[in-house]
Amino acid sequence: MKTGNVLKLVYLGINAYKEAVIYMRRNCHVCRSEGFEVPARVKIVHKNGTILATLNIIESELLTSHEASLSVYAWELLNASPGDDVQVFHPPHLNSLDYIRGKIYGRTLDKSQIKEIIQDVIAGSLSDIHLSAFLAATADGHFSKDEILYLTESMIETGNQLKWENDLIVDKHCIGGLPGNRTTPIVVAIVAAFGLIIPKTSSRAITSPAGTADTMEVLAPVDLNLNAMRKVVEKENGCIVWGGTVNLSPADDILIRIERALVLDSMGQLVASILSKKIAAGSTHAVIDIPVGPTVKIRTTSSANELKNYLETIGKIIGIEIQIVFTDGTQPVGRGIGPALEAKDVLSVLQRDPNAPQSLRERAVMLAGQVLEFSPQVHKGMGYALAESILNSGQAWEKFQAICHAQGGFFPPPTAKHVKTICSKKKGKVIATDNRYLSRIAKLAGAPTTKAAGIELLAPVGTEVNVGDPLFIIHSETKGELNYAINFLSTGREIFEFGKSP
Amino acid sequence: MKTGNVLKLVYLGINAYKEAVIYMRRNCHVCRSEGFEVPARVKIVHKNGTILATLNIIESELLTSHEASLSVYAWELLNASPGDDVQVFHPPHLNSLDYIRGKIYGRTLDKSQIKEIIQDVIAGSLSDIHLSAFLAATADGHFSKDEILYLTESMIETGNQLKWENDLIVDKHCIGGLPGNRTTPIVVAIVAAFGLIIPKTSSRAITSPAGTADTMEVLAPVDLNLNAMRKVVEKENGCIVWGGTVNLSPADDILIRIERALVLDSMGQLVASILSKKIAAGSTHAVIDIPVGPTVKIRTTSSANELKNYLETIGKIIGIEIQIVFTDGTQPVGRGIGPALEAKDVLSVLQRDPNAPQSLRERAVMLAGQVLEFSPQVHKGMGYALAESILNSGQAWEKFQAICHAQGGFFPPPTAKHVKTICSKKKGKVIATDNRYLSRIAKLAGAPTTKAAGIELLAPVGTEVNVGDPLFIIHSETKGELNYAINFLSTGREIFEFGKSP
């Protein structure tokens, strides 16, 4: 134990997301004796464990030369407390960095190499710079089908994995990007009402105004741990919980963040991400909804087909049957954009409200029908009608309420304090909407942080509008956020595209 | 002007190296209204300009919800002061990120695209994650000769560029990695004494125990700006200054840092880095020393030849004549490792001390001879003898002192307070040394921060040693650092490899 290397931890509360950072004075004895200079990587030894971190230098009186601080992620990785001692050293050699470099130079990686990379991702040993190089080097065309398989297997092996008694465990997944596309709660309710086991984990919004977990959270608790989730499924056949708490694919959660910064959707990463989470959830069969359109994740038929091929063939190898459904990704599904507004759409479909958005109802029934056809009791082609009858009979609505109660309670969705109806300045038929701008306005209005905030779309594609007709309503909790969203509209961006009137 | 977006700047002194970071409270009104979440990129508008930055969240009382702080680099980019107002927005779309993504997908970039990337690098608009993806996507084999040319040209066009009266401006460069290889001051002294113009800029240590600028700084000031540098060269024909102050290739300085983190030496990047700095210095002719060996940057003859080919052909296109010299990169050149110890070696060669390290003397004379042959007055093959005569006559030594005085003074190298001689536990002939371990010990002893610290190597390859014979001496300013270096030896690493004694 080299006592000369010891520094005392001080809490500064700096959150650098999933990057472990250590903050030290430049003139601290450890920096000097080890010869550290930013942006070095260093090894931190703490009584609870050892991690690697990026060094940032403090040039002010925030720390003394005998103190150090950590980023929030590093505190968590070490489970450290203020006042604890840490020792700081030069980092060890990382084999995984050699493999990443090998990939940059076009080499093919084997299973053990990919697994070591993924293990180091989870341990926080690789910095954002390393992860970015890995993703760039494994983007489309640089990662073989075998390598995608190894990546999927490595993600499965390094995360939690659920086991179920039943032989048939179904799932449903949508390749994101389409606002308001909240079919999941409806699909789960129909499928669970029929009697299939569907332990569904969903994500929160990353860049969108709402993820399925955000929407579901309006109606019931979603922060369930593995045990609690299991109890819900054992009781009600299904659940809709947040995947972040159950930690099914921790490596994926870290890599997705870098992909987002690069605005890079790597096919291999996407396939591994989806399949690893399905296998981790214990699923044997899954329907995957791939919306295709110019402003969603999958933009062309050829990339949709490539993705389908990877999902089906790798799915087969790792033991999950995949059914792909291509859907229209050109405009929002449902009427609401934002957690509570989407939750209201979901409820209206389940409650068989005649004013429920038909686009959401139809898509949910179609997807539920596909899932039902995994059952040996359901003949091919009969799923849609069966799903519709379960919805129409009220069984799905009852099942949904039961699932909510099992998850901890069923709450009515909140209503926003401030609304503003935006009317058309043009006359004509709506022929397209810009989904990215709609999402942006919903976020400016407060979604997903403010549950009630968002947009209510009144003029979907196909609507004939006159000057002064309502196009959408902005919902906000505060006057400031409402104005913020309205201001965005004054910048002259074209959200609706109109065709010539007859 | 949306006044709702204004935050007041507070100084926290956090140095994240060349990454612009903004620190804000999660519950600050700007974060909430814009819906920012770590690790977002944001646009910062300040009265002096606009930059992009990475968002870190402060979860403590370091800031109020109406305050923000910046990383040291961001303060510098904006030339901002505490108390200034900033506005924070979502970042604009970056075309350069599209080009980087294109490169990831294997597209070829044209000149304007590469230039836009480099401009965004310098503006700080691209994050470390983006830069890493760019480097991974442009590593060997992915960047064509044309693209390397465009990269070189873009780096030249975006940095400072020196102009000289003379038609022949010579330079000398070494592809690093070899400890103690401090030929530059000797070469410059010989060449300038002969009368050629050699405005030499050098780097400080990045990961090594000393860069040429660190060594030279022991003997004379090196932090000269462009004007001061020009005056020295006009007076004495040559200089040896730190390249960081004169800012000849700012993009390169930023990219090198990411390459270091990836331990990635991209051929294209290396070629552009070297040539852009030579052209920026106004050089017309340059000798480039490529040490080849198992523990230096260039490890094989084939990569040495590839580098030679790129440097020569791209050099020709951009108007600089390149002369490549391959040298032995298997063991340290000279005796000292560390700024002052290397400076003493340099002085002993210039002062014609009979005990001067012959390896350093011979390599410097050979390289100086190559440079001299750029002169139309020097016949091919006559450079070595001419360089040696200039050294032996004392002209080089006089010129060196004159250059030091012109740079601001000539100082004697300091001597360390503490030394420890390390003796051999084995008998035999030294057949190899591990240069990385030698560098490591020199750094632990305090180099390059402590000028006098480092290693004095007494048993170079070829030396016959008995048990108890001295191998090297560790020099340190503090007892603690000395012990730190000695402790490293106790870990049992083999620094010297011995052959069987006869």
Q: Using a CB–CB cutoff of 8 Å, tell me whether A258 touches chain B.
A: yes
Q: Using a CB–CB cutoff of 8 Å, tell me whether B189 touches chain A.
A: no
The whole model's pTM is what?
A: 0.85
Architecture of domain A418-499: Alpha-Beta Complex (3.90)
CATH of region A170-242+277-407? 3.40.1030.10
Mean pLDDT, residues A52-62: 91
Q: Which of B120, B252, B265, B289 is catalytic?
A: B265
Residues of A in Cβ contact (< 8 Å) with B127: 261
One-letter-per-residue 3-state SS of B239-284: EEEEHHHHCCCHHHHHHHHHHHHHCCCCHHHHHHHHHHHHHHCCCC
Mean pLDDT, residues A120-149: 91
pLDDT at B38 over 70: no
The whole-angstrom separation of Cα A381 and Cα A358 is 21
Strand order in the sheet with A464-465: A464-465, A428-433, A496-499
User: Which residue type, as a one-letter code, is found at position A293?
Assistant: G
pLDDT digits (tens, 9 = 90+) for A229-265: 999 999 999 999 998 777 778 888 788 888 888 878 7
CATH of region B95-157? 1.20.970.50
Residues of B in Cβ contact (< 8 Å) with A134: 136
Architecture of domain B170-249+261-407: 3-Layer(aba) Sandwich (3.40)
pLDDT at A37: 60
Say if residue B376 is exposed, middle or buried (CB neighbours under 10 Å; 0-12, 13-18, 19+): exposed
Q: Using a CB–CB cutoff of 8 Å, tell me whether B11 touches chain A.
A: yes
8 A C-beta contact, residue B254 and residue B248: no
The whole-angstrom separation of Cα B298 and Cα B329 is 9
Q: Do B132 and A128 touch (CB under 8 A)?
A: yes
How many beta-carbon pairs under 8 angstroms link A with B? 182
pLDDT at A204: 84
Asked if omega into B376 is within 30° of 0 (cis), the reply is no
Q: Which of residues 417-456 of A touch B (CB under 8 A)?
A: 443-444, 446-447, 449
Three-state DSSP at B228 gives helix
Q: Which of residues 97-156 of A touch B (CB under 8 A)?
A: 97, 100-101, 104-106, 127-137, 139-141
Q: Which of residues 64-93 of A touch B (CB under 8 A)?
A: 71-72
Confidence class for position A1, pLDDT limits 50, 70, 90: very low
Q: Do B15 and A26 touch (CB under 8 A)?
A: yes
Three-state DSSP at A247 gives coil
Residue B139 has its nearest CB partner, among A29, A104, A480, at A104
Q: Which of residues 271-330 of A touch B (CB under 8 A)?
A: none
Q: What is the DSSP string of A178-192?
A: -TT---HHHHHHHHH
Mutate to test the interface with A, among B2, B10, B15 (most CBs of A within 10 A): B15
The whole-angstrom separation of Cα B163 and Cα B236 is 17
- CA of B97: which chain A residue's CA is closest? A262
pLDDT digits (tens, 9 = 90+) for B81-112: 999 999 988 788 889 999 999 999 889 999 99
Residues of B in Cβ contact (< 8 Å) with A128: 128-129, 132
Q: In the structure, how many helices (H) and strands (E) does chain A have?
A: 19, 19
**What residue segments make up the domains of chain A, in order of their start?**
3-89, 170-242+277-407, 418-499
Confidence class for position A34, pLDDT limits 50, 70, 90: low
Q: Using a CB–CB cutoff of 8 Å, tell me whether A491 touches chain B.
A: no
**Known catalytic residue at B252:** no
Residues of A in Cβ contact (< 8 Å) with B449: 32, 35
List the Cα angle B439/B322/B327 in 5-degree steps.
35
Architecture of domain A3-89: Beta Barrel (2.40)
pLDDT digits (tens, 9 = 90+) for B323-356: 999 998 888 889 999 999 999 999 999 999 999 9
Residue B56 has its nearest CB partner, among A16, A33, A258, at A16
User: How far is B111 from chain A, CA to nearest CA, in Å?
Assistant: 22
